[in-house]
Chain A
Amino acid sequence: MPAVESSRIIRSRKREIQIKTLVFIALLVLFFLTFTLGVVIGAVRIEWRVAAGIIFDPLPFVSMLPGTTDAHRDILMEIRLPRVLLAAAVGSALAVSGATFQGLFRNPMADPYVIGISSGAALGAVLAMLTGAGFAAGGFGAVPLFAFAGGLATMLLVYNMARVGSSVPVMTLLLAGIAVSAFLSALVSLLTYFAGEKLHQVVFWMMGGLGGASWLRVKVMLPYVAAGFCCIYVFARDLNALLLGEETARHLGVETERLKKILLVGASLLVAAAVSTSGIIGFVGLVVPHFIRLVTGPDHRFLLPASAVLGATLLIGTDTLARTIIAPTELPVGIITALVGAPLFIYLLKKRKRLRYFNSPE
């Protein structure tokens, strides 16, 4: 005998699915619009039809419009497209890792940098800059490599500091992360103090920017971010259970210790990669997941992909602003993300009155 549900409940459930579908479609449309704008807008204006012709040239039945110059082609293919794609990858990585850390720690203040990965990466990057290490591997310079290594080393350090036997209490992890982060930041400040003529380079790196975009970085980042996302997304349902508390998640059959390890490593790899290619871009990872939660709730099966799309959109948009607002000079994109993101977020908070989730983080 099948259970009989009231039509009201069925209608309400349908509406939720419809809303989520619409929101996701809207996010995708917004993403493609921003993407197109990012490619078209710049110091040199390129008409969108010209741009489309260039991008889709390799496809059959498409040819470049007459009057398209090699300069147009080069600007588009070698500068703008990789930059926009990199912004998308970095934005997604930050938003997804932010959502993951907020869920893992059950704490609304968590962001991708909460356990000190950014400080470790900054230390690595600053060391590379100051020593002028000519070290390079796989086409990458010393700065991103050092930054990546610094980020991951920090994650391992924090993890091992918080570990008790085979388990890792998340509160200890969070506190250890904050302490290590503060310590490493102090080291970075110390080095910055003695940076001399390299001060400008150091400070600019730490503000974050996508100026170093190249196809090589895109080729490494995109599959990497895709893999990291999939690895976390597979555990979306378990992450939902984790929101109810670790013990409850265990009682529902979730191997919480293994889950925490996977999420921690997955999110940390995303953050380390993002930071090493584009410095410390703040706010995207904190705000984007909250934004999605406010609109459609805490379910990670929707939250994670939606955050990925919105994170990509936000970073493409703000990066486009950063490089056009006072062109040909570029502003650090981190400044724009905060300037644009914060008021938007506050508006949403006021409109929804309060965050109806995260009532009591542990």
Chain B
Amino acid sequence: MSLRLAVHGLEIRYDAFPVLQGTEFTLQPGELAALIGANGAGKSTLLRTISKVIQPTEGSIYLDTREIKRISTRETARMMAVVPQDSGADFEFTVEDIVLMGRLPYLGRFQKEGEKDRDAAFRAMEMTGVDHLARRFVTSLSGGEKQRVMIARAICQEPRLMLLDEPTANLDIGYQSALLDLAVKLNREKGVTIIAAIHDLNLAVQYFDRFLLLAEGKVLASGRAEEVFTEVNIKTSYGVPATIYRHPLHGRLQVSVARGRPPVKEAKKLRVHVIAGGEEALPTLELLLSEGFELSVGPVSNQDSGYRFAAFYRLPVLEVPPFSPVAPALNDEHLQLMEKADYIVVPPIPLGEGNLRNLEAVEQALDRGRSVLLLQEDGAPERDYTGGKARELLRRMWRKGALPCGSLEEMLRVLYGGRGEDSSGNEKKG
């Protein structure tokens, strides 16, 4: 049932402007491939060329061993079905009418749809879960329902290759995953070779086996997610820095684009050291970074989100090997780092035996005259995992003059307001 699709040296120019320049790839029978790439990379153009809407300027496309140029439109429609991005369902046809149109390439000019065709249409509607809508007008359906009707029509064509052009665009997350489940089912059960243009990489990675990354009309990378989703590839094709990591739940690769370096309002000379450790530190880090403070990040494991944040923005960070205590040498380094900071911020992170050492270091810095801000310091019994030791430590720092801040805004007010006063104080002591 499956079909092999081979694309050789495809070139397309729109008014001398090149869209595809030497696109080259092969899909083996039964492959399930996602076509990814930035807007304007040529995804839609490529799909439209494969489906014979556009004639390539150069190059050739093969279905199994036959060049598509030599296959009639009608026969092509029996081998390949296309699910368009826009359903075009503006007319009052019933769902059944629309799905039955999938039989068009099989019907003779004077032949009426027979039992066999009605059967195929019904099965296709059943498979996509729109059989109960058979007699409804497509114009009355929701976007997700329409999309499933278009897929039913494509299935009704009994194709061996299916092209989907951004099938999940305009769908809510529920319909998105239902739709991709359907594509996988079609691929596994009927062996249909599938290629789908898709924008949502993190969604695609959960469903597709193979990825084709298109950039500037060429296949920049092709293969499994691990081969295609690299920081360099994403930067080259999408032009943004991204972090690639494994999803904590399903372990597949995820691409995360932070919003570049946050737009800095105004660079400040003030240096702030943040004791990270846990995701709770991230809002503090991001806010301080976007406000333009010079940041450094306290000893954290390289598995920690604070470490990833610091690494991503190339901030000075002290790295602790995973599952290890803070070594004395590192502790000294920590003290030196804090020595250079105007402020030390302790975000509302969970406090365990692991970072008790860090808090003790903060206390030493406080004793040496550093300004310390304790975020959301309300005694915090629920994030104390040290049986009261951490809480006691925080109280002691508070008594020694560390400033408690109820919120991030309060922290900012202190950092801005206390600037002159504190820096002069530092000078005296320094």
Contact = CB atoms under 8 A, between A and B. Distances in A.
Contact of B91 (A3, A252, A298): A298
B90 to A, nearest CB: 4
A247 interface: yes
A248 B91 contact: no
B92 A13 contact: no
B118 to A, nearest CB: 8
Contact of B82 (A3, A251, A298): A251
B18 to A, nearest CB: 19
B226 to A, nearest CB: 34
B96 interface: yes
B58 to A, nearest CB: 17
Nearest to A103: B91
Contacts of A253: 73-78, 104-105
Contacts of A293: 92
A361 to B, nearest CB: 8
B143 to A, nearest CB: 14
B392 interface: no
Contact of A250 (B73, B96, B122): B73
A356 B84 contact: no
A277 to B, nearest CB: 31
A358 B126 contact: no
Contacts of B126: 3
A243 interface: yes
A14 to B, nearest CB: 11
B174 interface: no
Interface in B99-139: 101-102, 104-105, 107, 109-110, 118-119, 122-123, 126, 131-132, 134-135, 137, 139
A358 B90 contact: yes
Given A240-B101, A357-B90, A358-B91, A13 B135 contact: yes
Contacts of B135: 8-9, 12-13, 16
Nearest to B153: A252
Contact of B139 (A6, A9, A359): A359
B157 A252 contact: yes
A248 B73 CA distance: 12
Contacts of A361: 90
B357 interface: no
User: Considering residues A5, A8, A12, A238, which has the most beta carbons from chain B within 10 angstroms of its beta carbon?
Assistant: A5
A255 interface: yes
Contact of A359 (B48, B82, B90): B90
A357 B81 contact: no
A2 interface: yes
B84 A297 contact: no
Contacts of B137: 356
A252 B102 contact: yes
B90 A3 contact: no
User: Considering residues B90, B97, B98, which has the most beta carbons from chain A within 10 angstroms of its beta carbon?
Assistant: B90
A360 interface: yes
Contacts of A237: 104, 107
A5 B157 contact: no
B300 to A, nearest CB: 53
Contacts of A357: 90-92, 139
A299 B93 CA distance: 7
Interface residues of B, number: 45
A13 B96 contact: yes
Interface string B38-55: 000000000010011100
A266 B86 CA distance: 30
A298 B97 CA distance: 11
A12 B118 CA distance: 15
A195 to B, nearest CB: 44
B88 A251 contact: no
A234 B119 contact: no
Contacts of B139: 356-357, 359
A360 B109 contact: no
A248 B90 contact: no
B253 interface: no
Interface in A285-329: 293, 297-299
A275 to B, nearest CB: 29
Interface string A238-275: 10110111011011111100000000000000000000
A358 B89 CA distance: 9
B122 A255 contact: no
B90 A360 contact: yes
Contacts of A245: 84, 86, 88
Interface string A80-120: 00000000000000000000000000100000000000000
Contacts of A255: 73-74
A317 to B, nearest CB: 28
Contacts of B73: 250, 253-255
Interface string B159-177: 0000000000000000000
User: Considering residues B73, B105, B132, which has the most beta carbons from chain A within 10 angstroms of its beta carbon?
Assistant: B73
Contacts of B53: 247, 250-251
B77 A251 contact: yes
A7 B94 CA distance: 17
13 contacts: A9-B135, A238-B104, A240-B93, A244-B89, A245-B88, A250-B53, A253-B74, A255-B73, A299-B97, A356-B137, A358-B91, A359-B91, A360-B90
Given A250-B51, A298-B92, 6 more contacts: A3-B123, A5-B122, A106-B90, A248-B82, A250-B52, A250-B53
